[in-house]
């Protein structure tokens, strides 16, 4: 008679809190949270990491990681992170921000933290709308995209053009790693994981500011199912927001 034993191939990361997360079904925040937790485990930084949560859908991020956390004012996470890092340079300070938080109200803070080469890591979740508040236009909303505040579709004459944040950050000298990734297929998830790891290592190895922009779905506000949202992202966002390593990659 044979007894069946099993070898684990994938288990829930220890640094991800043992609770249900509050994100919508299929929201990519969940995937990104999971990747971050996997890396906190792998890099063994649970005891010296701190996450700075933004205002937005991920305001409750502090509930989902087994590390120290602080909730910052809208857009100001990079400044709060700077304050923490200057006091405790040995800590791994991570800001986790959405596109309203980082690219609208927080543009000054992210540009200057990046410019100072602040040894922090920013995870920027770009889902082309202000999610928490019901889907208003964000700086990253695409031309023609219908949102709560652009019911006819974003018109550049009235509202300007979508901002390519990763490219903007990459134009500065302070960053040691800048990339844009996506997580809508398992191979892309693996690449995203690798990019976030490089961004964390840029901090851990003291080389400079690390930044990863992650294109994400927002099924609820896009009015699509999670699977339809994935398709929409691939067809509409990826052409405008190219996936690449802009700084610190092998070819960069």
Partner 1 sequence: MKKVVINEDYCKGCELCVSVCPLHVLALSSRLNTQGYHPAELIDEEKCNNCTFCARICPDAAIEVYKPVPVSAGGEKKN
Partner 2 sequence: MKGTEACAEAAIKAGCRYFFGYPITPQNEVASYMSKRMPEVSGVYLQGESELASINMVMGASAAGARAMTSSSSPGISLMQEGISYMVGCQLPGVIVNFVRGGPGLGGIGPAQSDYLQATKGGGHGDYNLVVLGPSSIQELVDLMKDAFEIADRYRNPVLILADGIIGQMMEAVQFKFEIDPTGLPDKTWALDGAKGRTKRLINSLDLVPERLEQHNWNLQAKFAQAAQTEVRWEEFLLDDAETVLVCFGTVARIAKKAIENARQKGIKVGMIRPISLWPFPQTPFQKVMAGAKRFLVVEMNAGQMLQDVRLAVCCQRPIRFSGKPGGTTFNPEMIEKLIWDLEEEGSR
Structure tokens at 141: 């909303």
Contact pattern from residue 13 through residue 42 relative to partner 1, giving x for each residue in contact according to CB under 8 A and a dash for the rest: x--x---xx-xxxxxxxxx-xx--x-----
Q: Report the phi/psi class of residue 117: left, alpha or beta, with left for phi > 0 and alpha for psi in -120 to 50.
A: left
Considering the rule CB under 8 A, would residue 151 count as an interface residue with partner 1? no
Measured distance CA(245)–CA(101) in Å, rounded:
23
Q: With respect to partner 2, which residue has the nearer C-beta, 118 or 245?
A: 118
- Which partner in partner 2, partner 1, none is near 232 (CB below 5 to 8 A by kind)? none
Q: With respect to partner 2, which residue has the nearer C-beta, 61 or 233?
A: 61
Among 72, 128, 169, 212, which residue sits at the site for partner 2 (rule: CB under 8 A)? 72
- Which partner in partner 1, partner 2, none is near 44 (CB below 5 to 8 A by kind)? none
Among 83, 117, 153, 226, which residue sits at the site for partner 2 (rule: CB under 8 A)? 83
- Which partner in partner 1, partner 2, none is near 49 (CB below 5 to 8 A by kind)? partner 2
Contacts 24+ apart (CB under 8 A), 167-174: 167/246, 168/111, 169/110, 169/111, 169/114, 169/211, 169/246, 170/246, 170/247, 172/111, 172/114, 172/115, 173/115, 173/117, 174/114, 174/115, 174/116, 174/117, 174/118, 174/208, 174/209
Least Cα distance to 125 among 104, 106, 97, 105 occurs for 97
**Taking the complex as a whole, how short is the minimal distance between the CB of residue 147 and partner 1, in angstroms?**
22
Please report, as ranges, the residues that interact with partner 2 according to CB under 8 A. Answer: 46-50, 52, 59, 62, 65-73, 76, 79-88, 90-91, 108-109, 111-112
């Amino acid at each position: 008679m044979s007894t069946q034993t099993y070898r684990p191939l994938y288990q829930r990361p220890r640094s991800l809190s043992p609770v249900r997360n509050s994100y919508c079904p299929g929201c990519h925040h969940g995937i990104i949270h999971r990747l971050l937790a996997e890396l906190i485990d792998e890099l063994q930084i649970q005891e010296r990491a701190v996450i700075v949560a933004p205002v937005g859908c991920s305001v409750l991020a502090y509930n989902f990681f087994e590390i120290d956390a602080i909730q910052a004012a809208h857009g100001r996470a990079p400044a709060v992170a700077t304050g923490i890092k200057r006091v405790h340079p040995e800590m791994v300070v991570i800001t986790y921000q959405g596109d309203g938080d980082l690219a609208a109200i927080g543009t000054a803070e992210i540009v200057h933290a990046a410019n100072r080469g602040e040894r922090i890591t920013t995870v920027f979740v770009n889902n082309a709308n202000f999610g928490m508040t019901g889907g208003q236009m964000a700086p990253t909303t695409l031309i023609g995209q219908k949102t709560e505040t652009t019911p006819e579709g974003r018109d550049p004459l009235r509202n300007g053009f979508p901002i390519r944040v990763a490219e903007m950050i990459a134009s500065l000298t302070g960053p040691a790693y800048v990339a844009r990734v996506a997580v809508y297929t398992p191979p892309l998830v693996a690449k995203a994981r690798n990019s976030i790891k490089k961004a964390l290592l840029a901090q851990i190895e003291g080389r400079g500011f690390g930044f990863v922009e992650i294109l994400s779905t927002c099924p609820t506000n896009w009015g699509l199912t999670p699977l339809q949202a994935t398709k929409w992202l691939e067809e509409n966002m990826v052409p405008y927001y190219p996936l690449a390593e802009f700084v610190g990659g092998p070819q960069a």
